[in-house]
Amino acid sequence: MAEPQHLAGAAGKASPGAGEEASDPNFMTSLARGLSVIRAFTEREPNLTIADIAKITGLPRAAARRCLLTLMQLGYAGSDGRTFHLKPKILALGYSFLSSAPLATILDPLIEQVSGAVQESCSAAVLDEDDVVYIARAATKRIMSVGLNVGSRLPAYCTSMGRVLLAALPESELDAYLSRVPLKPYTERTITAVDALKRELERVRDRGFSLVDQELELGLRSIAVPIHTAAGGVVAAMNISAQAARVTCPEMEVQFLPHLHRASEEARVLLVRSRGV
């Protein structure tokens, strides 16, 4: 399956506005620049030159060079003399989140359980900026042309987990999202009209789940449910993805949705026990 060009950098794009100075006196520009450099590296582009980093992040070449050399001195990056790459030590940054976040800790075994029961890939994600970010994943097969792992990012508007999370936003936050995010077509099925997307999100709220049929990638279907707190808020989403040739949309609702609902309810109970949410 050929990889859509739109997805090429979806798993690790740099922060928008990374090269801009912040007016907040508490804002550390050097730290923000360093983080934008780290996020420039992706699965498709694991080796980058200083010029590459500067282009991706919007930083001056001199600033990109200083960030890279600092990361090298700290053991987070390496170089062959021309290009730079991240080193395994960088995983410690993500592990700090996973080991301290009860949400990820709770969802991981539930994701494995659901994936084992249906023999399909299962994931959990949260909304971060304008994307969904994967915080747990159990993959049985590589069903997408882009490899997905914990930390991967995908657009919210055309993914099942993203729509579940967008549907839970207050109206003002959803309107702000729709006003700033271009609804680009990933396939000919992608909803790109704001009014149509709003109607679909209303449908998601009414039904309590989202089913996306080949809008992110042809041949891929996904169904997702929200994960609630005791107070009713939505803190994450959980989905099952499958090849369209193997399962129809109605079959996904019948075969997969009950497993997702049970796991979501178990996650809600465990979250209450762990932190009284």
Question: How far is Cα 133 from Cα 128, in angstroms, rounded to an integer?
Answer: 6
Phi, psi of 188 (to 5 degrees): -70, -10
Q: Which 8-state DSSP code applies to residue 212?
A: E
Question: How far is Cα 151 from Cα 126, in angstroms, rounded to an integer?
Answer: 10
Question: How far is Cα 199 from Cα 203, in angstroms, rounded to an integer?
Answer: 6
Question: How far is Cα 38 from Cα 84, in angstroms, rounded to an integer?
Answer: 11
Question: How far is Cα 126 from Cα 103, in angstroms, rounded to an integer?
Answer: 10
142 CB-near residues (< 8 Å, 6+ apart): none
pLDDT of residue 22: 52
Q: Provide the residue type at 51 as one letter.
A: A
Residue 243 near residue 223 (C-beta atoms within 8 A): no
**What are 82's two structure tokens?**
């021309």
| Unique residue bearing structure tokens 């420039």 | 40
Each domain of the chain, given as residue ranges in start order, spans 5-92, 101-275
Question: How far is Cα 5 from Cα 18, in angstroms, rounded to an integer?
Answer: 23
Handedness of CA 231, 234, 236, 240 (dihedral sign): positive
Burial 84-102 (b: 16+ CB within 10 A, else e): bebeeebeeeeeeebeeee
**What are 136's two structure tokens?**
């747990």
Grouping H, G, I as helix, E, B as strand and the rest as coil, residue 144 is coil
**What are 248's two structure tokens?**
């129809």
Q: Provide the residue type at 108 as one letter.
A: D
Note whether 5-92 and 101-275 share their fold.
no
**What are 127's two structure tokens?**
């909304």
Angle between helix 61-73 and 50-57 (nearest 10): 110
**Closest listed residue to residue 56, CA positions, set 30, 77, 73, 33:** 33
Question: How far is Cα 150 from Cα 152, in angstroms, rounded to an integer?
Answer: 6
Query: Which CATH fold would you assign to the domain 101-275?
Result: Beta-Lactamase (3.30.450)
pLDDT of residue 149: 77
pLDDT-flagged residues of the chain (< 70): 1-23, 94-101, 141-147, 273-277
pLDDT of residue 277: 47
- CATH number of the structural domain 5-92: 1.10.10.10
Residue 41 near residue 49 (C-beta atoms within 8 A): no
**What are 114's two structure tokens?**
């659901």
Question: How far is Cα 82 from Cα 3, in angstroms, rounded to an integer?
Answer: 28
